[in-house]
Structure 1
Amino acid sequence: MRGRRWALGLGLPLLAIVVLVLLFRWDWLIPIVEAQATARLGRPVTIEHLHVKLGKVTSITAEGLRIGNPDGFEDAPPFAAIPRASLDFDVAGWLRDRSVAIPVVTLDQPVFEVIGRADGKDNYTFDFGGPRETVAEAATPGPKIGALRITGGQAHVAIAKLRADFRIEAATEDPAGEPARIVAKARGTYAAQPITADLRGGAILNLRDDETPWPVQLTLANGPTRVSLQGTLQDPVALKGADLRLDFAGPDMALLAPLVGVAIPATPPYRVTGKLDYGEGAFRFTDVDGRLGRSDIAGRFSITPSRERPVLDADVSSKRVDLADLGGFIGGTPGRANTPGQTAQQRQALARAVASPRLLPTSPISVPRLRAADIHLRYSAASIIGQGMPFDSMQVTLDIEDGTIRLHPVQFGIGQGRLGGEFLLTPQENGALRAKGELELRRVDISRLMQAAGAGGAGSLGGVGRIDAVGKSLSDMLGHGDGELTLVTVGGELSSLLVDLSGLQFGNALLSALGIPARTKIECLIGDFALRRGQLTTRSLLLDTENYVVNGGGSADMAREVLDWRLRTSSKRFSVGSLPTPIAITGSFKNPSILPEVGELAARGGAAVGLGVLFPPLALLPTIQLGVGENSDCEQLTRRRG
């Protein structure tokens, strides 16, 4: 009897356990799983059915999985709706060394709805209750995922900030005799431009298998921009071990801004190729080789993503550059009429720029775009091409941080000399920029300057200048700015064409124009100019040669781009046919008029030239003595006549 009671007491619990196991349904755990997932993701998660197949490798399947939207968004459609999602979990590995290995993940007919509203709120940013991970942190050791299988995946992406609305179809393929691969395509609009993209991901047998590179092939067209990416990734989850070749081309690099996250000024047509990889938290584009308009371009770029502002760091160089191709960087229209590959719109823009009476760029500089990213750029050009261009080389170091622009320095080589400066542009509350800077000319070759003007000469030119201006464009800054500029020669000679024209020596002018050597030695050239509220006035202008003395005066209205200058030549020796008639330089910056003045206008012009501008003031002596001009003749002339 006692034995029967013992057997009954032990058997009933065992029977209850057996019955519980036989009747147990994994769906009973759904409320717990849903609560945990909802708390983790910060949005509602629901599951219709849950299945678990226990073993060393345990299979978990969720049917009717739905991940909802965060507060402030409608419930339908949800962020994700997956009729069937399953994964295999390596329990033995986890018990052995706590490693997380998921040999297989399968998603059947997943549908995603990705929304970014105009007010900045979105449904694809997840708050996991702790500090947000950076790209690098998110990519470092996580689950070891094996095969990823997707059947009939779809996504709708609508992000107002990017002016994007496109659909994605994705699936994995397992063709007979070939490795499995993922195939995806996107169609719709991005940055208000049509977008098409096709991705072939290659074999997805292990996304973290260091022994098997993961091949990728992507072609993308966004409006007129074309991008292709081809190569392999050693670890696609962490974006490591990249051997990728990136090629992109289009009519204007400004159109790349939505794709790279960094604002780029307008450019002429381009094509660039290079090696793409990821490291130290940055996407790196190296071994760059390409063309921009008529200019070549080489170097490296890196973009470090950031939730506040991405950072672009670049070292770029050109063997030969046409400065017209860089016109967009100062608010102008880039390129020339003969730049290859231009669109109809670019040709029309250039035609408008040519037809415009304005010479200085009037396009406002967008401060919000400047603040969209921090940029650190070093650029050099070994040679500069272009008709009438006096510059031989170029070097620029540019930094943009929170919209503040520093050029330190920008420098142009001119023969054996240089023209350089350092400038600081600071955003103002009204959306304008304040520009402050200093300019220096050091031993600039007069021969190069005159060659660009179609004349001859020798010697060198020095000078200093400064600018302090506020405006929304380059034209606006100069039209309201203050500053000064002083120029002094360092010996040499000047083609007598210029002197004879201003003195109406018709015979010698004709000989010089025909290329017959007729030069005059420069003893001193001093020009001293002041900029006050956009008015550039002549404080002193004197050219002293072995045969002539030329002095001048006048002004230039930088806002209206109007010239009003007079030059008068006096011969040191009597010369038949030498008429001391002043030359008037008037008209606009773009279409100046250079004509002799006669009669009453000539008398008035000559009087104006002679008032206070014939000889340079003693105040210029420090500039001369500090070596800007290094010209004892100018110093002696100033002391003698100042």
Structure 2
Amino acid sequence: MNSVTTAAHPRRARALRWAARLAVGVVLLVFGIWLILFVTKGRFLKPYFEKIATSRLHRQVRVAGDFNLYFAPFNVAFLADGLTIANVTWAPKSDFLDARHTALTVRTLPLLWGRHEISVADIDGARVTLQWDAAHLHNNWTFDDPNAPPAPFEMPVIARGTITDTHVSYTDPKLQLALKVDIHPLTATNSHIDQAVGFSGTGTLRAKPVSFSGHVDKADQMLHAGSSKLVLHADAADTVIDLSGTMPGISDITAGHYHLAVRGENMANLFDFIGVVVVPTRKYHLVAEVSRDDGTWNFTRIKGVFGDSDLTGVMGLAFPKDRLHLGADLHTQSLDLLDAAPFIGYDPKRLDALGTKGLVTNENGHPRILPDASLRADALRQFDADVRYRVGNISTRNVPVSQIDVTLNLDHGKMTLKPASAILASGKLDGSFALDVRGDTVMTDYDLRLHPTPMGKLLYRFGVEEAGTSGTLSGRLALHGVGNSVRESLAHSNGRMVAIIPRGTMWARNVQLVELDIGTFIQRMFQKKLKDPVEINCGLVGFTVRDGIANADPILIDTRKNVITGRGDFSFRDESVDVGIRAKGKTFSLFSLQSPIGIGGYMAAPHLKLVSPQLLERGGAAVALGVVATPVAALLAFIDPGNGQAAQCGPVLAGATAAAQRTVKGQPRKDLGPAKH
């Protein structure tokens, strides 16, 4: 037993001696390598570095000038003059990196764990090109497998160093963004930036020029995990943007919290930058708080004005399934009429210059009022949206409008405004609007309903007294149009428009044309006001629209004294109006108007012909009679025998077409139809 133990001791001793010798040999080898590298600065490793780096990065790596790679004493020292890293094959010919001088000291221990911590960095004359491919599936700073998902851009931690004459370009074809950024000279010591990191640049965004400048203040630990203050100013397409706030570090700008102030001539220009189509606006100024959470850019505490209207709310921009989605909940307390007009296609610059006169244009010597701004159908197909917009009231001169509430949904080129509602003179207006731009032809469906609305409040500004007026007005507009603007869509529309007046009374201060009875008008004109309200049995003003032409179908109003009918049409194509209205008395009266009153001209400038050609002819006969007979004879031409036929109100209140209308005796009416007067 002792002999075995005695024999084991020499073997262990020899093993220990060999282990010690091996350790010493390894140390000597490492020291020798370190010494060789330190003395030679590792210049001989240049071809090996280029080969290994090319293999690891899947890019061609070259060093045109001096090269160092060694331990100094424990950290890795790297120097390369004329360092270039080629771009990916799908990118333009420019290199990903082209640096005149690069000197780095990399901490060894963190490097073993896959962390890139640079204690010293001196970079001069660097040109960095950052790019996305056209499909936004790959970027050129993801260096691993070319088919791997794109990685976020990460900056290494830098403790000390200088960066001079360095420029960065960034290109994103999907956003149509191309920027060139100049990094102002930067010096860092002991994890502190010695002065603000300044930058400036120019570029284009969706074919519009952009210029910007800014700096990072108090960046004590900017290149570590501390917070920094970013200040940015940008000018683009009549838009001025000021952004300031804090961010965790220069490599994590998206995790910051910022204050945004933006102003410009037209809010549509601002959203153009991100590929979102919004309605045009007059001059605006907005502020908001900006942050990013779970992939969504949030704009909260939005507050500002556009034109003479206010705006508050929240908004979010996200990219689910790599498709832009805009969500918003916005509110305007008081919406000016001129600020509402651009929503349907009127030119905000023209409105700024001309006011309400800017709603009317002159084409071929005729006034036009329907807006003709073209829809950007191609852009509407590129994003989705869910937006709710509420308005307290619209400042209008004639009809009070309040409590507007619209929900907009846009899904792959199909846009709906549903529900959409408003309070119109104490009555409710609601309906829906659908716009389909998925095909080559833009199709629009309009469907609006006016629920029973007091005529006293609705027509108060037109001379109707609320006291003594019990009548109400209901209506509906249902049209299907084809075209790339409101004007074009209505010019190629089909459908029906009706306004219905059930039994009630109307009392007016301005008695002109009341019941369209000239005798009553003359009498009441001298009395200054009505002593009795007009008693309405029922009324219907209906138009059937075929390919942009709206034919009266029918115009029929039954009052206690008269039956009022109308024929004619108006055109959405050229906006001309040609309608005749005739009143037939139910009882005998003087000066009752049997000949029609003509409403002609254009939508933007209609005119009323109180004395129609037919009436002028009859007036001429009366003058002739007055010459040869007594003055009483001159009245005979204006005598109405009282043959008006009362209306059956059922089809009237149902909004039926002219063919379905009946007299009180149930007979088809022969005084209605689409024919012109």
TM-score class, shorter-chain normalisation, is 0.7 to 0.9
Q: How far apart in 2 are the matches of 1:466 and 1:492?
A: 26
Aligned with residue 381 of structure 1, among 391, 397, 404: 391
Select which of 433, 438, 441 maps to 2:447.
438
- C-alpha distance in 2, partners of 1:243/1:456? 57
Shift of 1:173: 4.8
- Name the CA shift for 1:262/1:597 in 2 (closer, same or farther; >3 Å): same
Q: Supply the distance in 2 between the matched residues of 1:468 and 1:613 (Cα, whole angstroms).
A: 35
- Equivalent residues in 2 for 1:469-548, closer than 5 Å: 469-496=481-508, 497=511, 499-500=513-514, 502-504=516-518, 505-507=520-522, 510=525, 519-548=533-562
Find the aligned partners of 1:447 and 1:533 in 2 and give their Cα distance: 35
- Distance in 1 between residues matched to 2:27 and 2:108, nearest whole Å: 27
CA RMSD after TM alignment: 4.3
> Sequence identity of aligned pairs in percent?
22
Maintained 8 Å contact 1:527/1:541: yes
Which residue of structure 2 lines up, in the alignment, with residue 70 of structure 1?
88
Structure-to-structure mapping, 1:229-308, within 5 angstroms: 229-234=243-248, 237-239=251-253, 242-305=256-319, 308=322
Deviation at 1:225, TM superposition (A): 1.3
**Alpha-carbon offset, residue 551 of structure 1:** 2.0
Structure-2 separation of matches of 1:255 and 1:349: 23
1:450 is aligned to 459
Deviation at 1:318, TM superposition (A): 0.3
State which drifts further: 28-37 or 103-112: 28-37
Once residues 274 and 44 of structure 1 are traced to their aligned partners in structure 2, the CA distance between those partners, rounded to angstroms, is 45
How far apart, in 2, do the equivalents of 1:560 and 1:22 lie? 92
Partner amino acid, structure 2, of 1:183: G
Aligned residue in 1 for 2:564: 550
Matches within 5 A, 1:302-317: 302-305=316-319, 308-317=322-331
Report how far residue 387 of structure 1 moved.
Answer: 2.9
Change (3 A) 1:615 1:236: farther
1:592 is matched with 606
Question: Match of 2:368?
Answer: 358
Q: Provide the C-alpha distance between the structure 1 equivalents of 2:426 and 2:454, rounded to a whole number of angstroms.
A: 6
**How high is the TM-score relative to the length of structure 2?**
0.76
The answer to whether the Cα contact below 8 Å between 1:478 and 1:559 also exists between their aligned partners in 2 is: yes
Bigger radius of gyration among the two = 2
Q: 1:23 pairs with 28, 32, 36, which one?
A: 36
Mapped to 1, the partners of 2:197 and 2:207 lie a distance apart of 28
**Aligned residues of 1:540 and 1:613 also touching (Cα < 8 A):** no
AA at the equivalent of 2:269:
L
1:562-641 matches, within 5 Å, as: 562-600=576-614, 615=647
Equivalent in 227, 240, 262 of residue 226 of structure 1:
240
1:593 Cα deviation after fit: 1.6
Contact persistence 1:174–1:181 (CA under 8 A): no
- The offset of 1:323, in angstroms, is 3.7
Confirm whether residue 425 of structure 1 aligns to residue 435 of structure 2: yes
Aligned counterparts of 2:356 and 2:460: Cα–Cα separation in 1: 30
Q: Please state how far the C-alpha of 1:434 moved relative to its aligned partner.
A: 1.0
- What is the match of residue 60 of structure 2? 44
1:58 to partner: Cα distance? 4.3
Bigger shift: 402-411 or 572-581? 572-581
Matches within 5 A, 1:160-171: 162=176, 168-171=182-185
User: 1:183 deviation in Å?
Assistant: 0.5
Alpha-carbon distance in 1 for matches of 2:235, 2:270: 11
Distance 1:347 1:78 in 2: 54
Task: State the Cα distance separating 1:382 from its structure 2 match.
Answer: 0.4
**Contact 1:501–1:509 under 8 Å retained in 2:** no
| 1:567-591 CA-partner distances (Å, limit 9, x unpaired) | 1223344343333331111111111
Aligned equivalent of 2:422, options 407, 412, 422: 412
Alpha-carbon separation, structure 1, partners of 2:103 and 2:411 = 47
Q: Distance in 2 between matches of 1:511 and 1:282?
A: 69
**Cα displacement (A) at 1:175:** 10
User: Greater CA deviation, 247-256 or 354-363?
Assistant: 354-363
Q: Say if 2:495 and 2:546, in contact at 8 Å, map to a contact too.
A: yes
**Within 1, Cα distance between the matches of 2:169 and 2:254?**
28
Matched-pair contact (CA < 8 Å) for 1:394–1:413:
yes
Q: In structure 1, which of residues 142, 146, 150 is the aligned counterpart of residue 163 of structure 2? A: 150
Amino acid aligned to 2:590 = V
TM-superposed deviation, 1:437: 4.0
Q: Distance in 2 between matches of 1:27 and 1:515?
A: 107
Q: CA deviation at 1:293?
A: 0.7
The 8 Å contact of residues 287 and 299 in structure 1, kept in 2 or not, is answered as yes
Residues 579 and 196 of structure 1: CA distance in aligned 2, closer, same or farther (over 3 Å): same
Q: CA separation in 1, counterparts of 2:275 and 2:569? A: 45
Output one character per residue of 1:52-72: Cα deviation in whole Å (capped at 9) or x when no partner.
Answer: 436665454444321223336
> TM-score when scaled to structure 1?
0.80
Displacement of 1:123 in angstroms is: 8.3
Q: 2:221 — aligned with what?
A: 206
> What letter is aligned with 1:489?
I
2:84 aligned partner, one-letter code? R
Partners of 1:347 and 1:40 in 2: how far apart?
66
Shift of the alpha carbon at 1:220? 1.4
The question of whether the paired residues in 2 share the 8 Å contact of 1:552 and 1:568 is answered with yes
TM-superposed deviation, 1:246: 0.6
Are the counterparts in 2 of residues 201 and 215 from structure 1 also a CA contact under 8 Å? yes
CA contact (8 A) 2:446 2:480 kept: yes
Q: Which shows bigger deviation, 373-382 or 500-509?
A: 500-509
The 5 Å alignment of 1:87-126 reads: 87-93=104-110, 101=117, 106-113=122-129
1:281-311 alpha-carbon deviations (Å, 9 max, x no partner): 1111110111111111110111124785321
C-alpha contact (below 8 Å) 1:146/1:207 kept by paired residues:
no
SS of match in other structure, 2:570: strand
Q: For residues 554-576 of structure 1, give each alpha carbon's deviation from its aligned partner in whole angstroms, at most 9, with x where no partner exists.
A: 21121121111111223344343
Task: Note closer, same or farther for the CA distance 1:56–1:388 as it changes in structure 2 (3 Å cut).
Answer: farther
The question of whether the paired residues in 1 share the 8 Å contact of 2:120 and 2:159 is answered with: yes
| Structure 2: runs of 5+ lacking an equivalent | 1-17, 619-643, 669-677
Residue number in structure 2 paired with 1:183? 198
Give the Cα–Cα distance (whole angstroms) in 2 for the partners of residues 98 and 278 of structure 1.
28
Aligned to 2:473: 461
Deviations, residues 384-412 of structure 1 (Å, cap 9, x unaligned): 01333442231111112222111112222
In structure 1, list runs of 5 or more residues that go unmatched: 1-5, 340-345, 605-611, 625-634
Query: In the alignment, residue 521 of structure 2 is paired with which amino acid?
Result: F
Match of 2:14 in 1: none
**CA deviation profile, 1:151-198 (whole Å, cap 9, x unmatched):** 222245678884857553433256999854311012466555554322
Distance 2:181 2:249 in 1: 27
1:322 is matched with 336
Letter of the 1:394 partner, please give it.
I
Deviation at 1:145, TM superposition (A): 6.3
Instruction: Read off the aligned partner of 1:204 and give its amino acid letter.
Output: A
Structure 2 counterpart of 1:433, one-letter code: V
Structure 1 residues 440 and 291 mapped into 2: Cα distance closer, same or farther (>3 Å)? same
* Structure 2: distance between partners of 1:73 and 1:573: 89
2:315–2:329: 8 Å Cα contact kept in structure 1?
Answer: yes
Higher mean alpha-carbon deviation, 147-156 vs 415-424, is at 147-156
